[in-house]
Amino acid sequence: MFLQLLTNGVNYAAVLFLMAIGLVIIMGHMKIVNLAHGELIMVGAYVSYYVSTVLKLPYILAVFGGFFVSGLLGLIIGLIIRRLYGKLAETLLATFAFSLIIQQGVRLIAGPRSQNVNIPLNGTLMLGNMRVPYYNLVIISVALLVLLLTWLLLHKTKIGKQIRAVTENRAMTDCLGINTQRVDMVTFTYGTGLAGLAGAVLAPRSTVTFAMGVQFLTESFLNVVVGGIDSIFGTALSSVLIGESLTFIGGYWNDVIAKVLVFLLIIILIRFKPEGLFTKERR
């Protein structure tokens, strides 16, 4: 039972990481609390449904489609609210408004009925007494790939170095001739695109509905708060910590007790360490 819970926890951690990575990029590098994050995940899930289930196209196209459609929406949102950057209350209200617009827009287009996405890879891997669905391995692989590619983007490319420079000192970066508005657009678009990718990947394990974004947003925020709003690897580690905790407590007791205990621990953590467990040290 222990090994089965351990592997289930790793899968849950991968799910939590995919949900939160786009949010931590925007919060950590732009200091914007994107309340439309959950709805952008929902958009990716609907793209996955229409591409893979309705049009019967290869599932990989659904994943890329979710990334590009949500990224395009994020680009539009970013262009509209760019004059509000640095104003916490205004960006909160603006992104909340966009979350409602997206949610009700999807409801009008797709209807209020929930949809299901076919699992693209059926079957189970048997390892002794452990059962690991093949699609769980896909989710874990995608999460690791996203983590690797995001790290390479931020540390090994010119635009990534500019993003980190703007994060450290926007005024100085602007004085050096770097177009900080373009950097902001790239950052916001990439973060929202990752939200759509998460929705497309997680759609086969969820019920796709216009109201699904609220749960994704809540769990993403909790994850980011624990890991630190400016640390991608911190978010990955907090995903493992939360995922394994919920899985083990739920396995030995029940899911309700697991969520109550873990959320209480997160509240206590926020009280004594509001910057998160793995936040970066500022110079």
CB 213 within 8 A of CB 39: yes
> Helix axis angle, 213-227 relative to 232-252, nearest 10°?
110
Q: Please tell me the pTM assigned to this model.
A: 0.93
What pLDDT tens digit does each residue of the chain (283 aa) get?
Answer: 788 889 999 999 999 999 999 999 998 888 888 999 999 999 999 999 999 999 999 999 999 999 999 999 999 999 999 888 878 889 999 999 999 999 999 999 999 999 999 999 999 998 878 899 999 999 999 999 999 999 999 999 999 999 999 888 888 888 888 898 999 999 999 999 999 999 999 999 999 999 999 889 888 988 988 888 878 999 999 999 999 999 999 888 888 888 889 889 888 888 888 778 776 655 4
- Angle, vertex CA 45, rays to CA 42 and CA 47, nearest 5: 115
CA dihedral (179, 180, 184, 187) positive or negative: positive
Q: Is 153 helix (H, G, I), strand (E, B) or coil?
A: helix
Could you tell me which residues come within 8 angstroms of residue 5 by beta carbon, excluding any fewer than 6 positions away? 247, 248, 251
CB 166 within 8 A of CB 230: no
- Return phi, psi of residue 131, to 5°: -120, 120
What is the Cα gyration radius of the chain? 19
State in Å, rounded, how far the first CA of the chain is from the last one.
Answer: 46
Could you tell me which residues come within 8 angstroms of residue 102 by beta carbon, excluding any fewer than 6 positions away? 36, 39, 40, 42, 43, 73, 213
- The amino acid that residue 189 corresponds to is T
Looking at residue 215, its pLDDT comes to 86
Tokens of 241: 């910590």
The β-bridge relationship of strands 207-208 and 115-116 is antiparallel
CA 101 to CA 79: how far, in whole Å? Answer: 16
Place of tokens 């603006």: 94
Looking at residue 67, its pLDDT comes to 97
CA 200 to CA 216: how far, in whole Å? Answer: 13
CA 65 to CA 73: how far, in whole Å? Answer: 12
Looking at residue 83, its pLDDT comes to 86
- The amino acid that residue 154 corresponds to is L
Among 246, 270, 256, 280, CA closest to 9 = 246
